Structure 1
Amino acid sequence: MNTGLKITAFAVALAATFGTAYGVGQGIDPVVADPSPRHEDEHPGPSPEPAEPDGGHAGHDTPAAGGLQVSDGGYTLDLKTPRVAAGQRSDLRFTVRDAAGRALTAYRREHDKELHLIVASRDLVTYRHLHPTRAADGTWSVPVDLPRAGGYRVFADFTPAAKGAANLTLGADLAASGPYRPQDLPAPKDRTTTDGYEVELAGTLNPGRAGELKLKVSRGGRPVTDLQPYLGAYGHLVALRSGDLAYLHVHPHGEPGDGSTRPGPDISFTATAPSAGSYRLFLDFKHEGQVRTAAFTVRAGGAAPATGTPQGHAGDGHGH
């Protein structure tokens, strides 16, 4: 392998410090390539107006993207484990601190959890949706095993319990040491497979305008009509922008037990892209007691995805 692609932990840490995006390309394949799966869901909080990939700015009517800042709304994500070794199980630890530097210990539960943690590689090939546990002193921890070396982004999605507090998504850089092999973003397609399930995507992601995204789950050519509730919904969708990994608001339609939302095969969401560009969508759904992840590359403000050819199985990770 070309030695230029071998990045040490020190080099990776430097890259994370200077905000280097490890060659996020033009396309990418579904997200789930290692044999250890599991995940959750999404909500970014207020953040400054994001920059467009080409250096411009999103319009004033577009939603703010989350996860671009380590501090927002008077709260800071204190990542106590900024480096791990690729391919080794590590304990990821972090704390959310308020403006006075105190550890936050009171959260509002949303989608059955006080906090949702997402870990994604800069090239958007490896993805984890994790369920950390909180100690009495406010320190969160969760085991993580990242299969590939390189730069990662950690997203903490939460709402403080304080009255009137807004939902926030804070982000911090994480480095995994070892030989680094960059991968391209898979090309956009309208279907993918994961663990024997086929998932089809319909709808468009629009810059500055809300749109519906509908995903249909089937297995063996038959629609799956008995999806199980997962974190209060039949599916959760996380959307990340290629390049800076901006984290988008994605809202599911309906919920189990509301009298109108069916347990599959269709799962619908409303989403708005803050800018044109490529995005990676990660759908978590639960069936027969196991959570699985399907991933898609989509382009907001661009050509529609190709049809007929699957993207492959869901990427390089889960972690429910």
Structure 2
Amino acid sequence: MSITSRFTLRRHGLAAAGTAALLALALAACGSSKDSSHSSMPGMDHSSTPSASASSHAMDSMPGMEHGSMATGDGLAASQAGYQLTSNVGEVPVGKPGDYKFRITGPDGKPVTGFAEDQTKRMHFYAIRSDLTGFQHVHPTMADDGTWTANLSALEPGSWRMFASFVPGSGAGKGKDFVLSRTVAVPGAPKKTPLPAAASSTEVDGYTVTVKGELMAGMAHPMTVSISKDGKPVTDLQPYLATYAHLTAFHEGDQAFAHLHPETKVSGDHGGPDLSFHAMLPKPGNWRMFLQFQTGGKLHTAALTLRVS
């Protein structure tokens, strides 16, 4: 398959075998202390792709890549480099909206209250069920004591992993990207949804999302995401979080986290149809991709499975 553009993945590093050089993954941290807007797919199975409303961001700039340091984890740890995701929440009620409260503590053991903005937010929070359904992406609010509150839509029974993505604004981790996570249980008998087979395209809200590119674990590869509607190229993508698309991927089996965003320059409400990425996913296997893009003030979330050799 020909590859026409490139994928940018932040927040993942990989030590390659032999004489290969260290490959780093730059992951974007997304967060806000005073913005409770969110995009979610409550109770989503692999075939459903509902939308959430979101306001338009008129930003004529490249995606924020100012943080030079790169996270080296896969988001599966609750602590890294002295920073820790702490929470007293071990179980979330089933079938109704709920709050997940948490703190980020620093190397000194104290709650962190200063966070740098990245992609217009100071904190991104993600919830994903163990079978990679029910994806939610929210922007929590922070109290003065450093307690964050993530407002979650109703969750289905099962084991869920909660990810916090952030960049400290000061201290030992200043300017570094972190992704930390913890698991919570939602009571009830979980109904596992099989992961759909890898595919090059999917549909959401009348839009067709097509991915072009062949990925190999630990190797950087260009990739293109193209968006069309009714067979015609879409050229009215609006900026969302300072880019034309927000892409999050999770690895089948362990829920390893990857955050990618396009290199395509932002120029008003005229994005599309092609978005260029530069992808380097650290593990082979299936990755469930959630692509979020905005048109007409509405946020769309497309989901498809990518196969990494």
- TM-score after normalising by structure 2: 0.75
Distance 1:42 1:130, change over 3 A: farther
Percent of aligned pairs with the same amino acid: 34
Determine the C-alpha separation between the residues in 1 that align with 2:210 and 2:118: 27
Determine the C-alpha separation between the residues in 1 that align with 2:277 and 2:94: 34
TM superposition shift of 1:85: 1.7
TM superposition shift of 1:222: 1.7
What letter corresponds to residue 97 of structure 1 in structure 2?
Answer: T
Determine the C-alpha separation between the residues in 1 that align with 2:84 and 2:261: 25
Among 117, 125, 129, which residue is 2:133 paired with?
Answer: 125
- What's 2:91 paired with? 83
Q: Cα deviation per residue 1:9-50 (whole Å; 9 max; x = unaligned)?
A: xxxxxxxxxxxxxxxxxxxx98573756369x999x866xxx
- What's 1:250 paired with? 260
Give SS of 2:267's match. coil
Q: Is the 8 A contact 1:149 1:176 kept in 2?
A: yes
Determine the C-alpha separation between the residues in 1 that align with 2:270 and 2:215: 23
Distance 1:36 1:284, change over 3 A: closer
1:107 aligns with 2:115: yes
Give SS of 2:264's match. coil
1:187 aligns with 2:201: no
TM superposition shift of 1:152: 0.8
Q: Is the 8 A contact 2:46 2:303 kept in 1?
A: yes
- What's 2:221 paired with? 211
TM superposition shift of 1:235: 0.3
What letter corresponds to residue 109 of structure 1 in structure 2?
Answer: E
Moved more, 210-219 or 160-169: 160-169
TM superposition shift of 1:252: 1.7
1:151 aligns with 2:166: no
- What's 2:303 paired with? 295
Q: Is the 8 A contact 1:211 1:271 kept in 2?
A: yes
Q: Cα deviation per residue 1:260-279 (whole Å; 9 max; x = unaligned)?
A: x9611112221211121111
Q: Cα deviation per residue 1:190-247 (whole Å; 9 max; x = unaligned)?
A: 1111122111111122211111221111122221101000000000111111111111
Distance 1:295 1:211, change over 3 A: same
- What's 2:147 paired with? 139
Determine the C-alpha separation between the residues in 1 that align with 2:93 and 2:260: 32
Q: Is the 8 A contact 2:51 2:205 kept in 1?
A: no
What letter corresponds to residue 196 of structure 1 in structure 2?
Answer: G
User: How is 1:62-81 mapped onto 2 (pairs within 5 angstroms)?
Assistant: 64-81=72-89
- What's 2:9 paired with? none
RMSD: 2.7
1:33 aligns with 2:43: no
Determine the C-alpha separation between the residues in 1 that align with 2:117 and 2:132: 28
1:222 aligns with 2:247: no
What letter corresponds to residue 86 of structure 2 in structure 1?
Answer: D
